[in-house]
Amino acid sequence: MEASGKADAASMRTVLEEFEGPLLRYAARLTGSADLAREVVQDVFLKLTREGGAEPNGRLPQWLYAVCRNRAIDVRRKEQRMSTIDITEAPVARCNDPAARLECRDEASKASAILATLPVNQQEVVRLRFEHGLSYKQIAEVTGLSVSNVGFLIHTAFKTVRERMKATEG
């Protein structure tokens, strides 16, 4: 029995190490506060612990993000605060020389600003896909949307960003 407890603690530690950072960033964007995000993620891991730390039907990432999302929405409602999602930490395209790096950062900054003006549901699915690496199916499970709706929202978001980027160039 003691060996099982150590194995459970080790697996929980592994889950915590893998998902704590991404969940904190996700929750912070949803709540608009790093402090609230820590509270949300703590609740997520407490719930996982209460459920025995077992991987819910082989869908641990989806389960964690869904619980995090739901809790963050609850906390945000409680705080009566809407968040503005910012993508300033988005990875900049790999640019070799310093001048190209500056241009890439400038373009990423423009895209971030445009993304922040999109509807919240579009921002959320784009972030889950590209910042958190979830598949369309996983995003659908997290958000409660259909897979095709997730694809539509991502497509629409990118189309809008592309059009607005071109408009700023001219």
Domains and CATH numbers, the chain: 2-79 (1.10.1740), 98-169 (1.10.10.10)
Phi, psi of 134 (to 5 degrees): -80, 150
**Which of 91, 135, 96 shows the shortest CA–CA distance to 111?**
91
Question: Which residue shows structure tokens 């997520």?
Answer: 44
> For 21-46, what is each residue's pLDDT tens digit?
999 999 998 888 888 899 999 989 88
> For 2-28, what is each residue's pLDDT tens digit?
444 555 777 888 888 999 999 999 999
